[in-house]
Every structure is written in structure tokens, then in C-alpha cells.
Chain A
Amino acid sequence: DSGVTQTPKHLITATGQRVTLRCSPRSGDLSVYWYQQSLDQGLQFLIQYYNGEERAKGNILERFSAQQFPDLHSELNLSSLELGDSALYFCASSPPLSTDTQYFGPGTRLTVL
């Protein structure tokens, strides 16, 4: 158990819908990262937040957005969902003095029908 929690574990929805994935980092960690893992594209970095502020952006679509709240939990919002958005979405966190090491949550499996 990494100490990073993600909810829900599974999510099934329809095309065109909007969903919110939630992540709670390990206690004391200020950075939160979001990743998408799919069969065709592998593990892709989406976005990073540090203490509430966006720090780095990867291959995140405009239909996706994220934020980190004052209590440091983070939410990833996916809208206008397409079949191709079906994937595992991982959240990771890292401690303030060791930002090179990331601790991954168990993931949320999103299925878009």
C-alpha cells in the first residue's frame, strides 16, 4: 500500500458524459501527478500539481482538466468522453524533498461505452 488513495476504483459511463476522478496523496506529499495508461499509448503523463498550483503539463487533452485543493487532494475531470478515453488513470504523489520519487495509487479504471 503506497498511501495514495484513488476513488472510484471502477467507473463505467457513456460517450459524451463527464466524470471526476479523485486522488488523495500520501500524508505530507505536496505534489500530485496524473497519468493515463492505455493499451495503445502506454503510460502517459498528464499533469502535475504542487501545493495547489499547476507545475507541469504533459499530454493532457483540452477536454480534461485537473485541480489540487487546499487539503492537497486532487481531482481529474474528464468531459465529452470518447471511447478512446477508456483507460486506467493513475495518480501519484511525491514528497517535498524527493520529488524524483513518485508513489502511485491503485488507479481508476474508466470504461466509456
Chain B
Amino acid sequence: AQSVTQLDSQVPVFEEAPVELRCNYSSSVSVYLFWYVQYPNQGLQLLLKYLSGSTLVKGINGFEAEFNKSQTSFHLRKPSVHISDTAEYFCAVIVTSGTYKYIFGTGTRLKVLA
């Protein structure tokens, strides 16, 4: 069965510091990988996605992620965070067999401290 693991439920970080949010997946078939952000009292918004090609993917708001097939990881990074990045971040996969069905991780709450 496919699954997504976000190892950190909460990540506190000071403003202008770098951050990495970890995501690992398990699947016996090819997957598409995504990161979504959820600001308080809002729906989810796509940050970036990996479908194929370059393993380093750049997204909105200065975020990037690297697909590592051997480690089955898709960690999200930002070199310098802002207070406004405080939100919940979800890693997700779509298994590329049959219909598109998202599997979401449990989320990581990023709290940026002044």
C-alpha cells in the first residue's frame, strides 16, 4: 500500500533561518509528488509538484523540493523563512496507476518565530 510519512509534526524556526520539512513515501509504482500549504482557516494551496524530469523542483514563495528516488524522499526547503510562512504543510503523492488519487501526509506545522 502507498503511504506518505511526514516525520515532524511541528517545526519551530527563527525568521530568516533556513528550514527543511521532511517527507518520505512508500510505493511500489511510480508516483507524482506534491507539497501543499494550508494557512489558518483556509484551504490548501499548491506549493510545488514533481511529475518527471529534473529532481529539483522550484515552487512559489521561494520554496523548493528535491525528489530522491533511492531514499524515497521529497523534502521541502526554504533558505530563509518569513513570519508569513507560518502554516501547515502537507506532502502528498498520486500513484500513477489507475485514476488519480491523492494520499496526503499528516502535515507539518511550521512556526516561524520573530
Contact = CB atoms under 8 A, between A and B. Distances in A.
Interface size range of chain A in the complex: 20 to 34
A106 interface: yes
Interface string A9-42: 0000000000000000000000001000000001
A80 interface: no
Contacts of B56: none
Contact of B49 (A2, A4, A101): A101
B101 A42 contact: no
A43 B90 contact: yes
A62 to B, nearest CB: 19
Interface of B: 32, 34, 36, 41-46, 49, 51, 90, 94, 98-107
Interface of A: 2, 4, 33, 42-45, 48, 55-56, 58, 90, 92, 99-107
